[in-house]
Structure 1
Amino acid sequence: MTITSLPTEERAPERAPARRSGAGRRRLYQWLFVAPALVYLLAFFGYPLVRNVLMSFQEFTPTTYFTGESPFNGLDNWREVFDNELFGDALWQTILFTVGSLVGQFTIGLGLAVFFSRRFHLSGVIRAVLLLPWLVPMVVSAVVWRRIMDEDHGILNSFLETVGLSGDGVPWLSSPSVALLSAILVNIWIGIPFNMVILYGGLQEIPRELYEAASLDGAGPWRTFRSITLPMLRPVVTVVLVLGFMSTIKILDLILALTGGGPADSTQTLGTLTYQLSFLQLDFGQGAVVGNVLILISAVFAVLYLRINRSDNQQGK
């Protein structure tokens, strides 16, 4: 008996609907898994962001919570914020605070990461101890450093007087010319462990064979660091700097607990200005404007990070 099979052209239409239905179910399952995260993002990030943008174009005051009336006033909030001299000072001080903190954190963190990449006795214990500034809540760190930097009774001035570096004591937190530097130093101390841990992990991924080949070629430590370590660390460095920037530019609790934005607004940043306008002057519209400026700056750097990361991935392929 001869069994004849159907031609391929006749069997294909029967398989196509099954494949389409299977792909549709997989796509549905994928969306079901993603849906909770999307709902969370829309509820806790999307809605507040939209409300903040709308609030910057409204006359939003404490009475609004009782009357429900917050009329749109166009660009009045934006004009008043940009015409305020304190906004310009806060923007400049935010730049100084962010750049100074990132440079200090990254430089010291990279130096410690390179130092600990060479195994020695108790290196793990010392690394664990160095993580403490990162684990302690920022407000607690600020309060402790405020006592340390006290002009009259702080241990830092007592130490400087003991070693003969300062006789009258340095006004770390009470002088407009020194207070911002003090805030930067404290933030550097807090951020060093994060930079050290991430960069240390990146160093462990660099093949040891590259260093052995460089040693055989007669390359010194500095040339090896410049030609091998830094290029291989570039993706990690990008992540560290971008994340450090986005977390530093919006710092509020550290400065409020350390200096309160003073003296004479010398440590006022965009974050503290937002707090001052919204919760001290109770002008929520202008506070929303400064908040939107912070969001815009962070978004620009986030886009830059994604572009750099994408180009690095394409080069890796």
Structure 2
Amino acid sequence: MEKFGNAKQLNRNKFKDYTFLLPSALFLLAFLVYPILYNILLSFKDINIGNLIQGEQPFVGIENYITVLKAPLFGKALVNSLIFTVATIIFSTSIGFALALLFNKSFPGHKWMRSILLIAWMTPIIIIGTVFSWMLSGENGIINEFLLQSGFISQPVYWLTNPNSALISIIIANIWISIPFSMVILLSGLQGLPSGIYEAAKIDGANKIKQFYYITLPLMKPTILVLLMLGVIFTFKVFDLIYIMTGGGPADSTQVIPFLAYQLSFSMYRFGEGAALSNISFFLIGMIAILYLYLIRKEEVM
């Protein structure tokens, strides 16, 4: 009887422990799981502004997915999303790594300089987008003024209204935003590396370049994988910066998948197709997460 009473008391304690998770579980169900499931349900229905109000929403199966995938604008948006994501990740990670290596050393003023760089990360996107729009404006932009005074160009360049330069302009703005995040993640990884291995390498005659390629990079691989995964996810879903600076134009030159999904749902009121495109984007990001988990598991086995 005593053992039965102890077991019963233990089960009660376990139940009390799980009750502390109830608020978090309810929050996730209400604001994460339910929207995802509801969006999946919307993607299988023909929903527009008319039948949304009337409540008659016919089930169309995968027709919305077929329509979205066959649309010419989807291919352009996918290519722009890939270019936007890859270019941002390459430059922000490279520059962030260089800054992390710099601020990993102790020199006068390195702490406040590192803090200043974090301003770009903490500044609201609407402010950054507006400032870059002013800087890249055709007639009065500071970028054009600098290039004109330096003799690099002979007439103003309309960065955001030219289809050939609009996407590049957005990429530059997003790189500027992403650099501090990359620097913080990589700096935390650098500060966790053992210093003894570098001392042993110095004794063996390894210079700074060899130390970087044969010690720093291999040891930083898990941190770099985390940064790449987070960077791809955050960059692939960028919507607000494009909405502020170009609105997907000119001539759809800065059209990306998240912005196209927004337009389908809230500009064209084709809610089913917008939900389908959102699910396609979610699937692509999920594949990236699976690839990351595979690489991490492979790294642990090695």
Output the TM-score relative to the length of structure 1.
Answer: 0.91
Is 1:241 the equivalent of 2:257?
A: no
1:211 alignment partner AA: Y
Which residue of the partner structure matches residue 289 of structure 2?
Answer: 302
Q: Which of 263, 285, 294 pairs up with 2:250? A: 263
Counterparts of 1:61-210 in structure 2 under 5 Å?
61-210=48-197
Question: How many residues end up aligned between the 2 structures?
Answer: 302
Once residues 29 and 223 of structure 1 are traced to their aligned partners in structure 2, the CA distance between those partners, rounded to angstroms, is 55
CA distance in 2, matches of 1:308, 1:64: 46
Within 2, Cα distance between the matches of 1:23 and 1:163? 76
Distance 1:114 1:167 in 2: 38
Q: CA deviation at 1:201?
A: 1.1
Q: Deviation at 1:31?
A: 1.9
Larger Rg: 1
Moved more, 82-91 or 70-79: 70-79
Structure 1 position 310, deviation (Å): 4.4
Aligned to 1:9: none
Question: CA distance change for structure 1 residues 152 and 105 in 2, over 3 Å: closer, same or farther?
Answer: same
Secondary structure at the counterpart of residue 63 of structure 1: helix
Q: Deviations over 1:81-125 (max 9, x none)?
A: 111100010001100001111111100000000011111000111
**How far, CA to CA, are the matches of 1:19 and 1:156 in structure 2?**
74
* Paired AA for residue 136 in structure 2: M
Q: Does 1:226 align with 2:187?
A: no
Distance 2:214 2:13 in 1: 47
Distance 2:45 2:190 in 1: 50
Task: Indicate yes or no: 2:7 matched with 1:17.
Answer: no
Compute the displacement of 1:27 (Å): 2.7
Aligned CA RMSD, in angstroms, stands at 1.5
Give distance in 1, aligned partners of 2:297 and 2:20: 25
Instruction: Give the letter aligned to residue 225 of structure 2.
Output: T
Q: Spell out, residue by residue over 1:260-285, the C-alpha distance to the aligned partner (whole angstroms, 9 max, x if none).
A: 10110000000110111111111101
2:234 and 2:134 map into 1 onto residues whose CA distance is 25
Moved more, 106-115 or 171-180: 171-180
Name the CA shift for 1:306/1:37 in 2 (closer, same or farther; >3 Å).
Answer: farther
* Higher normalized contact order (CA 8 Å, seq sep 6+, divided by chain length): 2
Gaps of 5+ in 2: none
* Aligned: 1:250 with 2:237: yes
Moved more, 60-69 or 193-202: 60-69
